[in-house]
Structure 1
Amino acid sequence: MNKNIFRAAAIAAFTAVSLTACDKSKNADEAAAPAQNAPAELKIAYVEVDSIMTQYQFCKDYTQILTKKGQNIEATIQQKGQALQTAANNFQQKIQQNAYTREQAEAIQAGLQKQNADLQALQQRLGAEFQQEQEKYNIALHDSIANYLKKYNKDKKYSIIFSKSGDNLLYADKAYDVTNEIIAGLNKAYKPAPATKKENKKK
């Protein structure tokens, strides 16, 4: 549950919407038109995804929320696991001291096995809930970028906007870098949810 997960989510979200950021107002007939009707000049741009991750307030807010949630889950599982281990060690020690009758030992052992099963079930449930939160975040991130790029490109008229992460683009002239414009626009359009605002105030 580290930040690499959230970085990968940002890359996936941006890649999914950036490869063809053409004007969506074109109708199906235009989309199906022969290649010779394509613009004579290909207008392209690119965005640094790492910068989106570190400078887009949406990403920063939800990275913090998800990181905290992941840490809470780990702490809960660790605490309950340690308590169960302590109980198991105590049980084993008492067994060696012949402190229980056979019936008592079997009952305690059954109880420990149930606690272990309950702990595993809790871990699976919390893990599934965390994954659902991540998926909601990925969808929201994708939608926010897609919606903004659609508005942004009404005026800019780019044929393609690439996502650049690491060295996935072998060469990119900085003249085509629109990262700062995109981040500024995303942050201006971003309206934190009430719950997110409360989390920010706790910082």
Structure 2
Amino acid sequence: MKNASLILNVVLTIAVAILYYLHFKDQQPAGASVSAKPAEAKGRAIVYVNVDSLLTKYDFFKDTQKVLESKRFQLENELATKGRNLQNKVAFFQQRAPTMTQEQGRATEASLQKEQQDILAYRERAAQNLAAEEQTKNKQLYDQIYDYLKKVNAQNKYEFVLGYTKGGGILFADPAADQTKAILDGLNKEYQPKETKKK
């Protein structure tokens, strides 16, 4: 009984394989031409730029970062100096407090509190100004990159130029589509004449 069932299964499997072959044998050339069409169709021109490399090697960005770092450093030094001066005044006040009248003590204390508030207000204003300047520089950076890509794309006709960063939204990028070096070279070439005119 088992042998009859096994023989029947083998015969049915062979019959299904023959029917499958006969059914798809005639349609194979049509399927081959359909699969050839996408190979002939031109895909969208998509390239990418490595944003990390662009930022670390673009001269405008490097120069901007140097200027902003210098301003941050100057601000920190200025605030540290003002803070030390205030601490010295407070220490001097504490030494002289026992010899002062109550009215003189209150006046000096109010003066020191006002100076402390002025330093805090100055730090806040300076930090806001520095943040606004950084935002302006970032906008200039974006505009320069966008304008350059727009100009270059008149010849290349890319549909998309993506910004790639490791760990960003693009999980994989084919190195053949990497245009970072070409775009970076072009941006630096355009930036250099602007810098020499300033000097």
TM-score between both structures, scaled by the size of structure 2:
0.74
Q: Which residue of 1 aligns with 2:69?
A: 67
Structure 2 distance, partners of 1:192, 1:166, is 31
Partner of 1:58: 60
For 2:138 and 2:57, locate their aligned partners in 1 and report how far apart those are by CA, in whole Å: 17
Q: Residues 194 and 136 from structure 1, CA distance in 2 versus in 1: closer, same or farther, beyond 3 angstroms?
A: farther
Aligned partners of 1:43 and 1:159 also within 8 Å: yes
Alignment partner of 1:42: what SS? coil
Query: Match of 2:178, as an amino acid?
Result: D
Contact 1:46 / 1:163 at 8 angstroms: preserved in 2? yes
Q: Determine the C-alpha separation between the residues in 2 that align with 1:183 and 1:62.
A: 16
When Rg is computed on C-alpha atoms for both structures, the one with the higher figure is: 2
| Aligned partner of residue 162 in structure 1, secondary structure | strand
Deviation at residue 194 of structure 1 after TM alignment: 6.3
- The aligned residue for residue 178 of structure 2 is 177
Partner of residue 76, structure 1: 78
Equivalent AA in structure 2 for residue 133 of structure 1: E
Name the aligned partner's letter for residue 53 of structure 1. Answer: L
Moved over 3 A (4+): none
Alignment-mate amino acid for residue 142 of structure 1? Y
- CA–CA distance in 2 between the matches of 1:164 and 1:118? 45
Unmatched runs of 5 consecutive residues or more in structure 1:
1-38, 198-203
Name the SS for the 2:195 alignment partner: coil
Q: What are the equivalent positions in structure 2 for 1:22-37 lying under 5 Å apart? A: none
**Matches of 2:55 and 2:139, distance apart in 1:** 15
Equivalent residue number for residue 159 of structure 1 = 159
The equivalent of 2:188 in structure 1 is 187
In the comparison of the two structures, how many residue pairs are matched?
Answer: 156
TM-score, normalised relative to structure 1: 0.72
**1:114 Cα offset (Å):** 1.1
Q: Name the % identity.
A: 37
Match of 1:192, SS?
helix
- Give me the whole-angstrom Cα distance separating, in 1, the residues matched to 2:129 and 2:63: 19
- Tell me the secondary structure at the aligned position of residue 41 of structure 1: coil
Gap runs ≥5 in structure 2: 1-40
Q: Per-residue displacement from partner, 1:8-54 (whole Å, max 9, x unpaired)?
A: xxxxxxxxxxxxxxxxxxxxxxxxxxxxxxx9521111111111111
Map Cα deviations across residues 61-111 of structure 1 (whole Å, 9 max, x no partner).
Answer: 00000010111111111110111122112222332xx12111111111111
**Structure-2 change in CA distance of 1:194 and 1:114 (3 Å):** farther
Task: Name the structure where helix makes up a greater proportion of residues.
Answer: 2
Distance 1:145 1:118 in 2: 40
Matches within 5 A, 1:16-27: none
- The letter for the 1-side match of 2:128 is A
Deviations 1:155-192 (A, max 9, x none): 11111111011221211110000000010010111122
Superposed CA RMSD: 1.7
- Is the Cα contact below 8 Å between 1:58 and 1:192 reproduced in 2? no
